[in-house]
Structure 1
Amino acid sequence: MATTLHTALRNRSDLLVFGAALAGLLAGGIARWAGSPGLARWIWGAVTVLGICCSTLWVVRALRRRELDADVIALLALVGALVVGEQLAGALIAVMLTTGSALEGLAEGRARRDLEALLARAPKTARRRTGGQVETVPAERVRPGDVLVVGTGEVLPVDGAVGAGGAVLDESALTGEPLPVEYWEGDAVRSGVVNAGSAFDLRATSTAADGAYAGVLRLVEEAASDKAPAVRVANRVAGWFLPLTLAVCGLAWLLSGELSRAVAVLVVATPCPLILAVPIAMVSALSLTARRGVVVKGSGALESLAAVRTLIVDKTGTLTAGRPALSAVVTAGAVPDDEVLRLAASLDQVSAHVLAAAVVRAAHERRLPLSAPTDAEEVTGQGMRGRVDGREVHLGKAAFAGQRGDAPWAAAARRRSDADGALTVFVGVDGRAAGVLLFDDPVRSDTARTVRELRRGGVDRVVMATGDRRPVAEAVAAAAGLDEVFAECSPSDKADLVRSERAFAPTGMVGDGVNDAPALALADVGIAIGTRGATASSEAADVVLTVDRLDRLAEAMSVARRAKRIAGQSAVGGMALSGVAMAFAALGHLPAAWGALLQEGIDLLAILNALRVLRLDTSAVELDQHTQELARRFAAEHIMVRGVLDRLKAAADGLGTDPGPAELDRARKVHAELVEEILPHERAEEELLYPAIASALGGIDPTGPMSRAHVEIRAQTDRLGHLVDRGTPGAADLAELRLVMYGLYAVLRLHTLQEEESYLSLADTAPPA
């Protein structure tokens, strides 16, 4: 708060001094126009003295830091203008200097606005349930285990778990996502988000000081607090520029014998483009990345981010979603897959198992009606059992769920689990195994697109370092398009890898867990996924993503590179123009007053060019609100598509050499689902989503290849219909039927993944994993 107040007061004083200098310059001009040249010189002289006072203060501050910067040139120019009687030139220099200071203050204020807004939102109190009563207590008195009441529109004061009934939260302040997010009972939520629904109970899992919001506030205090190497280089170059300027001044005075020429050189030599443009560009970039959900801890980290050529990424929680998700339901045949999931999710509503939330979430996504279980109990080392709608349900190991022997469906599920590195939970109904639930950690839908954007931006090498098994790691790396995989790594292995990569190129490390903290701290720039990452990783990192989207990293790196490029353009261009002006002034072709006016224009050009960083890169794809709504709609429908895909593959697996009526009937039902659900979904995409996406992407027919996939899906669905309507199939018919079903499964699955990666992940809310 003290820092914020100091910044506000400094910005206000800068504006007041600039206003006084400008008013004095204009007042002197009016006096001169009114025929009072003596009064005009007196007013301009006062403005010059004001400039001398400001420059002296700045020089003293620099000397206290043991620096000698270009403010010395400005001070000499002001004093020289008074000595030779060039009061108008002195007033112009004063206006020039105070203009630059005011612009810098405004840029810094704009750069900190988004970050400091978080400070103002920090809740000071909380409503806590105590003995049947609700009392208001200071937020710092909340302890883990306390039950809080969060009313509509209130900010969550601590991290916690949602109570009965669920909650709808507005997370835009932390993540930038515009739409509220729905959470179910038991889901973990973060402090700092707003309750956008009705009041709900929150069981605290942290104190206010240890919560996610407090962590963001600590990042705010660290952001923009350190000068980037380029800023320090700028000051050093300005220091070298001082003796050069004095030498040119002396030479001009010596050769001409006119002190006015030396003063004119000093007037145009003040290197404001160098000492202002670089920090303004960097601070502007910090503001822009903060608005996009990326907190960069200072302009030094921003420059390091721009220089990265090798990127090391963790797998879990970075390239993948970081939480288990239901990937498939494999049934034994007697109970449909949706009913298997519904019964399991109903029982899991009262389970504390790590996979229970994923089961319940999957059931909610499929809009399955859940029932309240009875007689539920945990069986240590086996699983959970209870009754749902009068049926006995078991969840857990195969034997516990009633699976005996090695049935084909169970063997297929195990093979799939081994290949994908998935977890399995068997479901038993009324004493017999009814199916198995498969869980994995899905690759983020924006991962592959982000890797491609990183490469286009200048990252030469992207490698994975993970503690997971090699087969699983290689499968994720293949999907993401990475260059190399380092599997089964310990924290020290990751740190060693960072050391080895840094020997060849500037290296960044991306991670989200405690095990990533040493590597994050060791890398040239450490990047933490802060949405679910550990505090240790966020504190060790130089950059923290506060939004659960990996593509914002590529965006932040693009902003960093653009800021560095624009800062260089502003500094070099401004100094080059100042050098040309110095030459003209030394030759006597540029009087001090005109030189001061020219330098004012040069400085303004450099600073305004630096402020271009605040504009978003126009090459980035931005969806309008209508297209984002369409993307979110079809992302939700993809949950339905995945369910049909699971049933399509299960039906194909069930077509052995001699399928019975039940297996053939399952194939017919799947075909009916394709006709009644999948084809209308594809037609709606073709008519609504694709034209909107094509408009955002630009170019000639950017969605053409995806439209061609729709044609193939329709054709194969028609072919499947002809096959299932033939009656009792022969051996050749069965082979063709399986071929069509497996082919349709492959095309639909690939097409769905491509849509999510290329189109749907462009929306502010990524499609469900």
Structure 2
Amino acid sequence: DSTATLDESALTGEPLPVRRAPGEALRSGALNAGAPFEMRASHPATQSTYAAIVRMVEAARLSRAPFVRLADRYALLLIPVTLALAGLAWLISGDPLRVLAVLVVATPCPLILAVPVAIMSGISRCAHRGILVKDGATLEALARARLLFLDKTGTLTTGHASVLSVESAGSYSQEQLLRLAGSLAQSSPHLVAQAIVEAAQGHGLSLERALEVQEQPGAGLCGVVDGHAVMLGGHDYVAAATPAVPWTEGMLRRMAYEVAGASFIAIDGVMAGAVLFSDRLRLESPRALRLLRQAGIRHIVMLTGDRSEAAQTIGMAVGVDEIRAGLSPAGKVAAIAQGKSDGTRLMVGDGINDAPALAAADVGIALGAGGTSASSEAAGVVLLADRLDRVAEALRIARRSRGIAVQGVMVGMGLSLLAMLLAVAGYLPALAGAIVQEVIDLAVIGNALRALGAGWRERAAPALTGEWIDSLRQEHAALLPLLERLRAAAEGLDSTPPAQAREELAGLVEALQRQLIPHEQADEDRLYPQLAQRLPGEDPLAALSHTHREIFRLAHLLERMSADLSGDAKGSSLAEIQRLLLRLDTLLSLHFAQEDELYHSLDRR
């Protein structure tokens, strides 16, 4: 008789857990994200959602046109040209030895050796970077990709709920709310509850053990933490036990605008705040799409089973060209079929519902680290590293390998053609032709082996060590509480009593000068010169350095305005300071996001 809380992201693209009422039909492939529950199988396995998706994968595979290999196309030219030149030699001389010389130097090795060596070298290079390419035909097709389809949940986003912010209704600070909510959330197996616990631990908060905990599966839970009666859960669950407050209506509107979920918090029977959460964008997603465009992708389409509002938010954030939301697995297959005339199609996904689309595309790429086995089996390429930017890297390796293969074919066949013409004219006897043929073979095979290594651009930008990357991320994580304190001051200064505002502002200014400014100055003086050596361009970090200077200017201005704030703190003075705080908060949020993306791009693990 209890409700079930399920993670259906692999089936529908909805990243947040959903509640299913007693008697409601469930689909195979979903994961239990809440308390145990009883269910009854109503259909045999052959009629399940998972079995239907498997059948769809097989149908998509059979409907895909066969791919013509590179060597096969050039072989159609080599054979008739060789026979024609051999016939010409016979007509000119009537000498069978001259015909033999033509046939000896007509080496097919640029096709039967150089092309496979280059392609297999590319596959080996991909494997070295955590990219599993299943066969040479897939690598060749990948090199020709022009149209990219992307799943949203788990591909462009992390695929699970992450805490965005903690919002206070006024009586408690954000830190207090997070500590109480995290202490209570420890008692629940719910995915959102675990995300709240991780956020609290990430802020270095000491969590207490909750007493008298009672949980209503899928709705929320309540208990006693530090002598306070705490409730944590959905709006309906918490609002039913607390008096209505105007703050709640504003928070619900904000949730709708930002396409976010929330766990509301009540303390001692009063609505106290909320923890906002959503499926965060992957750190590397915007850069990965820029790299894919640089690698030759002309059009990017996002396919998702999620709601249109959530899809629009993510799509605009990463910069896709087209968004198609609310799609079933069959709808994704149909969308890929429509793009057949636009060139070689590439599909990237990770869920069970992506498997048919991965099989239908010319090349399917599955995120194997966090994806499902169904998607990995349907795809021709599997990313063993959980990073979307490896798709662009696979595309670059494939294009370079194919380019080297084509280069070997053209040079090898050109040299063979020249040798054949010399043999036709009688200047190259059969024995010398055999030696020339071996030299040509060795040259094109040696050239093909270049695909094993990185291109000059990759060698020119050495990566940072993993330890260094981790230390930079830890420095940013240590500053997050200060940034949240700055944001809270910027948003709430106008509603704070003047005496309290002066005190909080003085403490904030002191913390900025003690923690933030030395960090940014150290980045400017020591870190950026070392990063500049690893990036192309004359001054690759000019924009970030300019941001540093603006941060220093605004922090100094805030210090002066805080010191000049009169004892009776007029509203106009506080309004000016609040505008300055909002500017500094926006600038720091953008600056930290840019630095995080930069550090991530230099992490080659």
Query: Would the TM-score normalized by the shorter structure come out above 0.5?
Result: yes
Question: Are residue 289 (structure 1) and residue 129 (structure 2) matched?
Answer: no
Match of 1:421 among 246, 251, 259: 259
Matched, 1:245 2:85: no
Asked whether 1:323 is paired with 2:160, we answer yes
Q: How far apart in 2 are the matches of 1:664 and 1:468?
A: 46
Are residues 1:384 and 2:221 paired? yes
SS of equivalent to 1:384 = strand
Q: Partners of 2:341 and 2:569 in 1: how far apart?
A: 65
Q: Does 1:693 align with 2:542?
A: no
Question: Cα deviation per residue 1:89-144 (whole Å; 9 max; x = unaligned)?
Answer: xxxxxxxxxxxxxxxxxxxxxxxxxxxxxxxxxxxxxxxxxxxxxxxxxxxxxxxx
Shift of 1:663: 4.4
Residue 551, structure 1, aligned to residue 389, structure 2: yes
Instruction: Please give the residue correspondences for 1:624-643 in structure 2 after superposition, counting only pairs within 5 Å.
Output: 624=462, 626=464, 628-643=466-481
After TM superposition, list the pairs within 5 Å mapping 1:301-320 onto structure 2: 301-320=138-157
Cα distance in 2 for partners of 1:342, 1:327 equals 15
Match of 1:573 in 2: 411
Q: Which moved more, 1:729-738 or 1:602-611?
A: 729-738
1:755 to 582, 590, 595: 595
Contact 2:182/2:196 (CA < 8 Å) preserved in 1? yes
Moved over 4 A (4+): 621-628
Deviation at 1:257, TM superposition (A): 4.5
Q: 1:599 to 1:621 in 2, by over 3 A?
A: closer
Structure 2 counterpart of 1:360, from 197, 201, 211: 197
Q: How does 1:464-613 map to 2 (within 5 A)?
A: 464-613=302-451
Of 234, 239, 243, the residue aligned with 1:404 is 243
Conserved 8 A contact 1:655-1:664: no
Distance in 1 (alpha carbons) for counterparts of 2:83 and 2:463: 58
Aligned-pair CA distance for 1:355:
0.8
Which of 659, 665, 690 does residue 497 from structure 2 map onto?
A: 659
Question: What are structure 2's unaligned runs of at least 5 residues?
Answer: 1-32, 34-65
- Cα–Cα, structure 1 residues 478 and 487, in superposed 2: closer, same or farther, change >3 Å? same
1:740 pairs with 2:580: yes
| 8 Å contact from structure 2 (residues 110, 444) kept in 1 | yes
Identity of aligned residues (%): 42
Q: CA deviation at 1:614?
A: 1.0
The one-letter amino acid of 1:264's match is A
Contact 2:219 2:234 in 1 (8 A): yes
Q: Deviations over 1:494-531 (max 9, x none)?
A: 22221222222322121111222222222222222222
Provide the secondary structure at the position in 2 that maps to 1:749: helix
Structure 1 range deviating more: 548-557 or 383-392: 383-392
**Residues in 1 aligned to 2:514 and 2:136: alpha-carbon distance in whole angstroms:** 55
* Cα offsets for 1:135-175 (capped at 9, x unmatched): xxxxxxxxxxxxxxxxxxxxxxxxxxxxxxxxxxxxxxxxx
Cα distance in 2 for partners of 1:595, 1:552 equals: 45
| Per-residue deviation, residues 393-439 of structure 1 (Å, max 9, x unmatched) | 3211346386532344x455434322221111122334444321111
Structure-2 separation of matches of 1:407 and 1:689? 47
| Matching residue of 2:286 | 448
Aligned pairs, number: 539
Residues 634 and 685, structure 1, Cα contact 8 Å, conserved in 2: no
* Superposition deviation, residue 381 in structure 1: 5.2
Residue type at the aligned position of 1:630: W
Q: Is the 8 A contact 2:463 2:602 kept in 1?
A: no
1:457: Cα distance to partner? 1.2
AA at the equivalent of 1:373: A
Q: Specify the SS of the correspondent of 1:328.
A: strand
What do the CA deviations read for 1:197-256 (whole angstroms, capped 9, x no partner)? xxxxxxxxxxxxxxxxxxxxxxxxxxxxxx97325515xx44653454344335434543
Q: Please tell me whether the aligned partners of residues 657 and 731 of structure 1 are also in contact (alpha carbons under 8 angstroms).
A: no
Aligned residue type for 2:291: E
Q: What letter corresponds to residue 633 of structure 1 in structure 2?
A: S
Instruction: Name the stretch that deviates more: 290-299 or 462-471.
Output: 462-471
Residue in structure 1 matched with residue 231 of structure 2 by the alignment = 394
In structure 1, C-alpha distance between the alignment counterparts of 2:88 and 2:215, rounded to whole Å:
91
| TM-score, with length taken from structure 2 | 0.83
Instruction: State whether residues 282 and 302 of structure 1, in contact with CA within 8 Å, keep that contact through their aligned partners in structure 2.
Output: yes
Distance 1:574 1:298 in 2: 24
- Would the alpha carbon gap of residues 645 and 698 (structure 1) be closer, same or farther in structure 2, given more than 3 Å must change? same
SS of 1:620's equivalent? helix
Q: Call closer, same or farther: CA 1:240–1:304 in 2, change over 3 Å.
A: closer
Q: Distance in 2 between matches of 1:411 and 1:672?
A: 35
Distance 2:300 2:464 in 1: 35
Distance 1:494 1:501 in 2: 11
Larger radius of gyration: 1
| 1:602–1:525 Cα change, 3 Å | same
After the TM superposition, which residues 170-181 of structure 1 pair with which residues of structure 2 at under 5 Å, given as runs? none
Which of 168, 173, 176 in structure 2 is aligned with 1:336?
A: 173
**Aligned match of 2:513:** 675
Any idea what SS the aligned residue of 2:370 has? coil
Closer/same/farther in 2, CA of residues 353 and 743 from structure 1, 3 Å limit: same
Residue pair 2:82, 2:103 contacting (<8 A) in 1 also: yes
3-state secondary structure, aligned to 1:425: strand
The CA distance in 1 between the partners of 2:283 and 2:218, in whole Å, is 35
Contact 1:632/1:760 (<8 A) preserved: no
1:351 and 2:188 correspond? yes
Structure 2 contact 494–575 (Cα < 8 Å) conserved: no
Contact 1:310 1:461 in 2 (8 A): yes
Partner of 2:49: none
Partners of 1:427 and 1:689 lie apart in 2 by 41
Matches within 5 A, 1:64-79: none
Match among 87, 98, 106 for residue 261 of structure 1? 98
Unaligned 5+ residue runs, structure 1? 1-185, 187-226
Q: Cα deviations across residues 448-493 of structure 1 (Å, max 9, x unaligned)? A: 1111111111111112122223332222222212212222222232
Take 2:366 and 2:485, find their aligned partners in 1: how far apart are those partners?
38
Q: Give the match for residue 548 of structure 2.
A: 710
1:660 shift after superposition: 4.6
- Specify the alignment match of 2:22 in structure 1: none
* Contact 2:149/2:301, CA 8 A, preserved across alignment: yes
After superposition, what is the alpha-carbon deviation per residue over 1:337-375, rounded to whole angstroms, capped at 9, x for unaligned? Answer: 223222322322231112122112222322223333333
* Deviation of 1:740 (Å): 0.6
Q: CA deviation at 1:705?
A: 1.0
Return the alpha-carbon distance in structure 1 between the equivalents of residues 139 and 311 of structure 2.
30
1:504 to 1:365, Cα distance in 2 relative to 1, 3 A? same
Query: Is the CA contact (8 Å cut-off) linking 2:71 and 2:112 kept in structure 1?
Result: no
* Structure with greater contact order relative to length (CA < 8 Å, sep ≥ 6): 2
What is the Cα deviation at residue 709 of structure 1?
0.5
Partner of 1:131: none
Give the counterpart letter for 2:589 in structure 1: R
Q: Is the CA contact (8 Å cut-off) linking 2:126 and 2:397 kept in structure 1?
A: yes
Pair 627,508 (structure 1): closer, same or farther in 2 beyond 3 Å: same
User: CA 1:330/1:657 → structure 2, altered by over 3 Å: closer, same or farther?
Assistant: closer
Amino acid at match of 2:104: V
Structure 1 residue 664 displacement after superposition: 4.4
Describe the SS at the equivalent of 1:327.
strand
**Does the 8 Å contact 1:511/1:527 carry over to 2?**
yes
Write the distance in 2 (CA, Å) between the matches of 1:274 and 1:397.
64
Secondary structure of 2:206 counterpart: coil
